Amino acid sequence: MKKLEEQFFKTLMILATLLIVGSFFGIIFTILKKGLPAMNMDMITQIPQGGYYQGSKGGVLNAIAGSLFLALGASALALAASLPIVMYLNVYLKKSSVLGRITRLSFDVLFGIPSIVYGTFAFTLMIYFGNKASLLAGIITVAALVVPVMVRTMDEAFRSCPKELSDAAYSLGATRWETAKVLVLQAVSGIQTAVLLAFGRAIGDTAAVMFTAGFGDHIPSSLASPAPTLPLAIFFQLSSPSEAVQARAYASALILTFIVLVISIASRLLGKRLQKNKTRS
């Protein structure tokens, strides 16, 4: 009887794992199969011809650049906002204080809010202040969207630092701020994971940028110009009646997937370097 139970749950686990891994490869396979035929150098070196991606000539360089600017900007801004929050939660607030619990709970709630809500909220503000869609507006909106992911992931990394480590810093006469810096070093790989997750969410999000970052056929030249993004490009291309244009949507998806892949691998490598370098003083 026990044996049967064991066997049953083991099979269940294997099936679940296969399902996930299977869908992952399924997605990659679909994108490759449908995207590769439409893929060419023009896709990544040209801006679209024929307006809003509806032509079958030119490329999506504008959206690649826009997405990269937006995701990098939003990740940087979110990091600048999250790190102080996490330091405050973990070093300045006493463990399990009421304020700490409320803050963590609010981030959990914010995490569950769909990105369209962030987009609409930011859009309402923009109308109120009379601003047009721009790269900056997109960056701010997406930063707000990814701060909860970042805070929660970094918070876990900080919380897993042993108490004795901060005690060690304190007993050498470190102030709270100096102790916080030690914890940042200790948590560096967790912080890296947090930024990576945030970047992935930022570059893939469509709803938050639709109204705030806008779209256009050109590479954004300043923070004030509208920023086309890959997810929106895919959306436009896929909704085209022309099959040639639809195929280009898969090529765009291929590019987006590739960027995320490159960024995760690069940040892994960078993380290893950091791990070595941080010991250099």
Partner 1 sequence: MTNTPHISVQNLNLYYGTRQALKNININIPDKKVTSFIGPSGCGKTSLLKTFNRLHDSALDVRVAGKVLVDGENIYDKQVEVTHIRKKMGLLSQRPFPLPLSIYGNVAYGPKLHGVKDKPLLDALVEQRLKEVALWDEVKDRLHTPATGLSIGQQQRLCLARGLAVEPEIILGDEPTSALDPKSTHKVEELFLELKNKYTIVLVTHILRQARRVSDYIVFVYDGQIIEFGPTEELLLNPKEELTKDYIRGFFS
Residues of this chain that interact with partner 1 (CB under 8 A) are 94-97, 162, 164-175, 178, 182, 185-186, 188, 276, 278-281
For the CB of residue 195, give the shortest distance to partner 1 in the complex, in Å: 18
Name which of 55 and 100 has its Cβ closer to partner 1. 100
Name which of 134 and 186 has its Cβ closer to partner 1. 186
For the CB of residue 272, give the shortest distance to partner 1 in the complex, in Å: 13
For the CB of residue 174, give the shortest distance to partner 1 in the complex, in Å: 6
For the CB of residue 48, give the shortest distance to partner 1 in the complex, in Å: 48
Name which of 221 and 279 has its Cβ closer to partner 1. 279
For the CB of residue 176, give the shortest distance to partner 1 in the complex, in Å: 8
Name which of 90 and 115 has its Cβ closer to partner 1. 90
Name which of 36 and 185 has its Cβ closer to partner 1. 185
Q: What is the Cβ-side half-sphere exposure of residue 196, based on CA atoms within 13 angstroms? A: 19
* CA–CA gap between residue 41 and residue 55 (Å, rounded): 16
For the CB of residue 256, give the shortest distance to partner 1 in the complex, in Å: 35
134: left (phi over 0), alpha (psi -120 to 50) or beta: beta
Let me know: does 215 contact 52? Beta carbons within 8 Å: yes
Complete DSSP assignment for 46-109: S--BSSTT-SSBS--HHHHHHHHHHHHHHHHHHHHHHHHHHHIIIIISPTT-HHHHHHHHHHHH
Helix (H) or strand (E) segment spanning residue 7: helix 2-35
* CA–CA gap between residue 73 and residue 144 (Å, rounded): 12
* CA–CA gap between residue 140 and residue 7 (Å, rounded): 50
Name which of 100 and 204 has its Cβ closer to partner 1. 100
Kindly report the number of other CB atoms within 10 A of residue 143's CB atom. Answer: 25
Contacts of 126 (CB under 8 A, 6+ apart): 132, 133, 137, 211, 212
